[in-house]
Amino acid sequence: MKNRALSEATWILGTLAAGWLISLAFMPELSIVFAALLLFTVNFFRNPERVPAGDGNIAVSAADGVVTTIDEVEEEEFLKKKVRRIGIFLSVFDVHVNRTPIEGEVTHSEPKPGLFLDARNPKSSILNQSRSWVFTGPAGTVMVKQITGAIARRICPWAVVGDQLKRGERFGMIRFGSRTEIFLAMDSEILVKLGDRVRGGETPVARLNGAQ
């Protein structure tokens, strides 16, 4: 899936490239704007390689960004129990490819329609368009929710139910600024704190205690 992220931007890059070429011929000053947008888009859809830290009981971050939430919630849609939640805000400058926190099988993947509130708004977790994923493996069961934002309005799933994924493997992305949440068993040891900057597929965020 190395080039999958860039393929999600095909029409965007094509439109900007066309605008740059046309403006270069007729409005050179405007071509600078198109060139800047083109470079920004290529950078946004970057998809770097990552190596997960720690052993198989360590859950790594599902996204790049800043930890804005660490709390306990009743997850009533899929896990149907009280869990620990880590919320990560992704700015437009962060990598937006999402990666699996643990090794295991995709046992659930479901989109949910909704609004497009600013992803920094706590209500976005409940009200915004989102997609929930459940991963089940030797280390336990972890849920990840991809949440759109005011700018990010499309979630691009790359995996399907039944896929066996390695820890840190790519499973999808969100286009432009957004929010990603990780739901973990209550006995998980949280390894990050509010304000920490994390890297998807690499930064340890919790230590799990086996299948739940």
Distances from the Cα of 98 to the Cαs of 5, 15, 16, 89, 168, in angstroms? Answer: 10, 26, 25, 12, 9
The contacts of residue 130 (CB under 8 Å, 6+ apart) are: 111, 112, 114, 145, 146, 147, 148, 155
Beta bridge partners of 134: 108, 143
Q: Note the helical H segments in the chain.
A: 4-7, 10-26, 28-44, 124-127
Residue-wise pLDDT for 182-207, tens only, equals 999 999 999 999 999 999 999 999 99
Q: What local confidence, expressed as pLDDT, does residue 178 receive? A: 86
Please say whether the dihedral angle defined by the alpha carbons of residues 97, 8, 118 and 146, taken in this order, is positive or negative.
negative
What average pLDDT is seen over the chain? 92
Structure tokens at 98: 């999402």
Residue-wise pLDDT for 87-145, tens only, equals 999 988 999 999 999 999 999 999 999 998 887 788 888 899 999 999 999 999 999 99
The contacts of residue 126 (CB under 8 Å, 6+ apart) are: none
**Residues classed as catalytic:** 178
**Global confidence as pTM:** 0.89
Is 1.10.287.130 the CATH number for 58-207? no
Q: Using DSSP, how many helices (H) and how many strands (E) does the chain show?
A: 4, 14
The CATH 2.70.70.10 portion of the chain extends over 58-207
Q: Which amino acid is at 168?
A: G
Residue-wise pLDDT for 48-90, tens only, equals 999 999 999 999 999 999 999 999 999 988 999 999 999 999 9
The whole-angstrom separation of Cα 140 and Cα 57 is: 8
